[in-house]
Chain A
């Protein structure tokens, strides 16, 4: 993500160059030309020596760099991985989030314009890479959040969820949220939840629904049983261990005495 990196460089200029170095280091690949010199300079010399371009703080941030406008392909690095993000500080992650956010806005803008003008959007995988990076970053932040909450309160601090039955009697997970009123006097909430209906129609539906599920299960079982039998009929010396491993829900030893397994040939007796 060369342009993201350059922007990250610009952003972090204000914050301190030590972070720039660490942010730059991870998603770099050998062919990536992005400020390799800046990476090799010693840490102490950084503040004075490092050259960065002027910070772009206007609406042009929503567009790609001018040299990429008429390109058919834009070469970029890979997405940030979770293990790379885990070693960053919270501050660095926070900075990187905004770099990624701006990059995503830029890419979405360019994609929209390209679609509008019936042009090909160069390297659309950039959007996926930014998306993956953002997901990974969020995972890492969530991990830290969880660890902190567990340490401090003994709970995960995640949004509480519980399994409830909906209007059709099917199990769904209900995500709890805070309310100003307690649950027993919050009539609006009780009505809006729309759970726990146990009428005759629901029972009838559930009966048929379960039958459907059961039939699917039964047919799958029969299918694999028949398959094993056909295999054994065609190949009488088939390795039973392989079959046992391949079809764990079929009792192969019991099937060996079945009539269907016997082929249309005279069995070799006493050989």
Chain B
């Protein structure tokens, strides 16, 4: 369950153990509509179905019912100007089925971000306007400190 080098396994030998697994898994937003108990992962290319299952069960303590994997081909694109072709890397996707009673909705991280940004921008604009007012007022009397007039 890692990309390290292991001695060859022959029947009767003790089972190979993984002490420092170095595989990664990303939980990604599904592109197609899925049942609520199915979660999509983007995983290391070397991972097998069994690896995905034991990774989630042992490290994340998740109940896993079924794992299906596929390799999604990276997008190929022709350059508009020079005509050469570029290709993005292939990715391995794992569709993990949790028990029927579980349901997972991918959270929306950026719903509050717009509000927060608007609030910050508003306060920034206000302070900018205040400074402009101060400058206008002191146009004819340069060098006067801010506390001089009411």
- A residues in contact (CB < 8 Å) with B: 57-59, 61-63, 69-70, 94, 97-98, 101-102, 104-105, 108-110, 112-114, 116-117, 119, 134, 137-138, 141, 159, 175, 177-180
Contacts and interface: CB of A to CB of B under 8 A. Distances in A.
Main secondary structure of the interface of A (DSSP, over half): helix
Given A159-B5, A179-B8, A180-B8, A70 B110 contact: yes
14 contacts: A57-B61, A63-B27, A69-B110, A70-B110, A70-B113, A94-B20, A101-B24, A105-B24, A109-B28, A112-B26, A113-B109, A116-B28, A180-B8, A180-B10
Contacts, number: 73
A209 B104 CA distance: 60
A200 B59 CA distance: 56
A11 to B, nearest CB: 10
A70 B5 contact: no
B121 to A, nearest CB: 13
A141 B24 contact: no
A69 B115 CA distance: 13
Contact of A178 (B7, B25, B28): B7
Contacts of A69: 109-110, 112-113
A97 B24 CA distance: 13
Contact of A59 (B7, B62, B110, B113): B62
A105 B25 contact: yes
B64 to A, nearest CB: 11
A119 B61 contact: no
Contact of A113 (B20, B29, B113, B116): B29
Given A57-B60, A94-B20, 19 more contacts: A59-B62, A62-B25, A62-B26, A69-B112, A70-B110, A70-B113, A70-B116, A94-B19, A102-B59, A105-B27, A112-B26, A112-B28, A113-B29, A113-B109, A114-B109, A134-B22, A138-B20, A177-B8, A178-B7
Given A70-B112, A108-B26, A112-B28, A141 B20 contact: yes
Main secondary structure of the interface of B (DSSP, over half): loop
B93 interface: no
A59 B116 contact: no
Contacts of B21: 101
B94 interface: no
Contact of B27 (A59, A70, A159, A180): A59
Nearest to A118: B110
The 5 closest A-B pairs by CB, nearest first: A178-B8, A62-B27, A70-B113, A69-B109, A70-B112
A159 B19 CA distance: 17
Interface in B79-112: 104, 107, 109-110, 112
B31 to A, nearest CB: 10
Contacts of B42: 112
Nearest to B106: A113
